[in-house]
Amino acid sequence: MNSKQFNQWLVDYQSNLPSSPLIMGVLNVTPDSFSDGGKFLDPTHACKQAILMVEQGADIIDIGGESSKPGALPVSSSEELARVIPVIEQIRAISDVCISVDTCKAQVMEEAVIAGASLINDISAFSDPAALAIAAHRSVPICLMHMKGLPQTMQEDPQYVDDVVLEINDFFQQRIQTCVDAGIARERIIIDPGFGFGKTIQHNMLLIKRFAEFQQHNQPLLLGVSRKSTLGAILEKPVNERLIGGIVISVLATLQGVALIRTHDVDETQQALKMIQAIVSA
């Protein structure tokens, strides 16, 4: 899927709900991400991985240059740019696949879009006014994610005053309106409830059990659960043995209307979605 096709998919979303979710392939160009940290620091190697994921069925490649795992420390804009921009440029030189940049920094957002990114995925939901201004000025689709706290401290006993799903929905209502008021078209907004970001295992399970409740905003829903620690805690498996748990959650979310699935395991996720589609269309 190229950028033009993705933009049309977003426009059509309201009137023609997709029968199968898009797949967003994870490409972390960091030394410290929890699953693939250090594997794709070389831009050429990262580019090859991106093309492999496209061949396996990825519609979007999500490139991140700063780890957001629990306890991760922030990096400078210059360091993040040095990691991300060469990869975007190399991919763009050989492919028109839709590229997402996973960042909270306004400067990184702008330079990534100039380099060829077509979507901005911000775990802080554009809480920085400068980032919000860049998103409005560049007129690119954005993803708003819910996160309780910051990566450094978000898993230190996260608490919700009320129901976790209700609180996340209140957050989305406020952030969507803020984005619209800033000049971002509603049809360009994707929302992600932030599985694992400032949430206990119980919070995460409720989020999946009641995933359909996030559809009240009429925005495409993104979900990223691939290889996360909640799966490891429940299954008692290390990070490289959590595939089945992630696929099960992806299937459950698909049956509740998820529109995009963010995953490290593109081929396996594509197979699961293909089976669901075959059953639904029988």
pLDDT for residue 16? 77
Residues 6 or more apart whose Cβ sits within 8 Å of residue 119 = 6, 60, 62, 98, 99, 100, 101, 140, 141, 142, 143, 190
pLDDT for residue 111? 98
Identify the sign of the CA torsion 130, 34, 62, 281: negative
Average per-residue pLDDT in the chain?
94
> Given pLDDT bands bounded at 50, 70 and 90, which one contains residue 55?
very high
Which residue numbers are catalytic? 228, 262
Among 98, 86, 75, 91, which Cα is nearest to 41's? 86
Q: How far is CA 150 from CA 68, 69, 71, 72, in A?
A: 9, 10, 9, 9
Residue type, 77: S
* 3-state class (DSSP) for residue 162: coil
Residues 6 or more apart whose Cβ sits within 8 Å of residue 255 = 276
Residues 6 or more apart whose Cβ sits within 8 Å of residue 180 = 186, 189
Q: Which helix (H) or strand (E) holds 24?
A: strand 22-28
Beta bridge partners of 266: none
Q: Residue 145, Cα to own-chain centre: how many angstroms?
A: 8
Distance CA 67, CA 32 (A): 6
Residue 34 pLDDT > 70: no
Contact between residue 262 and residue 62 where contact means Cβ atoms under 8 Å apart: yes
pLDDT for residue 158? 83
Distance CA 99, CA 119 (A): 6
User: What domains can be seen in the chain, in order of their start residue?
Assistant: 3-280 (3.20.20.20)
Q: What is the pLDDT of residues 216-245, one digit of tens each?
A: 999 999 999 999 999 999 999 999 999 999
Residue type, 110: E
pLDDT for residue 179? 98
Distance CA 29, CA 197 (A): 20
Comparing 23-32, 72-81, 148-157, the range with the smallest average pLDDT is: 148-157
> Given pLDDT bands bounded at 50, 70 and 90, which one contains residue 92?
very high
pLDDT for residue 31? 82
Q: Could you tell me the two tokens for 77?
A: 């804009």
- Give the number of residues written for the chain: 282
Going through 89-155 in order, the beta strands assigned E by DSSP cover 98-102, 119-122, 142-145
Q: How far is CA 28 from CA 57, 120, 125, 142, 227, in A?
A: 18, 15, 19, 19, 14
Higher pLDDT, 72 or 107: 107
Among 22, 20, 55, 52, which Cα is nearest to 36's? 52
Q: What is the pLDDT of residues 163-178, one digit of tens each?
A: 999 999 999 999 999 9
